[in-house]
Structure 1
Amino acid sequence: MALNFRALHLYTAPLSGCSARIRIASHLKSIPLTYHTIDISKSEQSSSSYLAINPNGRVPSLIVEASSNERFTITQSPAILDFLSGHFPEPPLLPGTERPRERARVMELASLVACDIQPPQNSSIRKKITQDFSGDSEAWARWVYERGFSVYETFLETGRKEIGEGKYSVGDAISLADIFLVPAVQGGLRVGVNPVKWPILNQVVRECWKLEAFRKGGLGGHGKLLP
C-alpha cells in the first residue's frame, strides 16, 4: 500500500554524482523534495549531526515523513530510487518484466556506473590516494572513467545490434541507465575525460542533456556538460 507523505527530505551535495541521480529522477517524476545541502568542502558529511542521519557519512540520504507520523531514513541512491519509483511510478525508469532483455540491460548499465565507475574514484578514495599514498588521484580517476566508459560504449554497441537503435542507453525511453550515466560523464569532465572518444555514449548524453530534468538535476550546474 502506498504511503501518504508529509515531507521528503533529501540530503544532497551539488557535485555528488550519487545525489544527482536522485535529483534528476525527482525532476523527471515531479517529486516534491525538500533539499538540504551538505557542504563536502567543509566536511559536513562527517559532522555529528549528519552522521546521526547517515552513519556512513555519505550523500544522498532521504528522510521520509509519512502522514501516519512514521519517519524513516533511506541511504544509497539505488535504494532511494527504488523507493521513489514505487511511490511515483510515472514515468517508469525500468522496463517491465515483459521486456526481460531490455530490463536486464538497463540494470547492467546502471550497475556498471554504480559499482565499477563511481566508487573507485569517489572523492574520499582520491583523497586517500593523494594524502596517504602520495599518488596522482586525478590520473587514477581518469583511468577509472576511461575504462568504465569504454565498457559502457561496448554494451551500447551490443545493445543496438541485439535490441535496436534508440536515442538513449536502452531504446527511446529514459531509464535508470541514463540517470546514472550523465552525472558520471560530468564527473569525468571535471578531471579531463572527453566523452567524444565514445561516440554512442556521447550522443546518448547529448540527448539526455536536452531534457530540463538533467540540466536542473545534474552536478549542481557547475560548468558545461560537454566541451
Structure 2
Amino acid sequence: MDLPRPGVYNGHAAWSGREATAGYYNTCIQRGAEEQWDAEQIGAAWRQCPTTEQYSLDLWFVHESEPEGDWDEWFRALLKDRPMHGYEMIQEIGERSGGAWRPSPGSVYPTLQLLEDEGLITSAGEGGKKLFTLTESGRGEAESGPDASWEEAGRGVDWESANEIRQAGFGLMEAFGQVWKTGSADQRQKALTVINDARKQLYLILADER
C-alpha cells in the first residue's frame, strides 16, 4: 500500500457486510445439508451471494518518522548536560527537536540499557525512577563526538499546518461524537453520511492532484 508521505500513522479498521455475508453462507450450508445439494448447486449458491464483505482501513498522519542516525549520540548529548530520567529525556528530545521527534519509551529504554551494558552510562534508583548518568568513558565519547543536530530532526516539518490539521480533525470527531451520543437514529445516520462523504472527498483531492 502506497502512503502519501513517510511517517507514523494511526488508523481505524472496519468490516462491512461481514455479518450479512456470513449469515447467507451459513444458511446455504444448512439448506445444502438438508436438501443434499450437489457441487454445482453449492457453487451456484456461493456465487449468488447478495451481499459483499469488505474490509476498510482509514489512516491519518500523526508525525514524521524518527530521524535516522546514531541514537547513542543523541542520548549522550543529553546526558552530557546533566543526569536525567528516561521520561525527562523523552520530553527534552521533543523540546530540542521542536516537536519533530518524541521517541516512545519502547525505543528509549532499550537504547539506554545498551549504553549501560557498554559502560557508557550508569543508572541509579531515585524516587522509584532510574537516573541515568554518563560514565567517564561515556563523557569522553560525548565530548569528542559531533554535536547532536537537533535542527535536523525538525527540518521540513510545517508545524503551523500540522496544528491546523490536528485541530480540524479533533473538531470534526468531537462534533460527530456529540451527535452520536445525543442524536436520534436519523441524526446519527446523517452524521455518518457526512463523515463518509468527507472521507471520499479527501481522497478525491489526492486523485485530482495525480
TM-score, normalising length: structure 2: 0.30
Higher relative contact order (CA 8 A, sep 6+): 1
Could you state the TM-score of these two structures normalised by the residue count of structure 1? Answer: 0.28
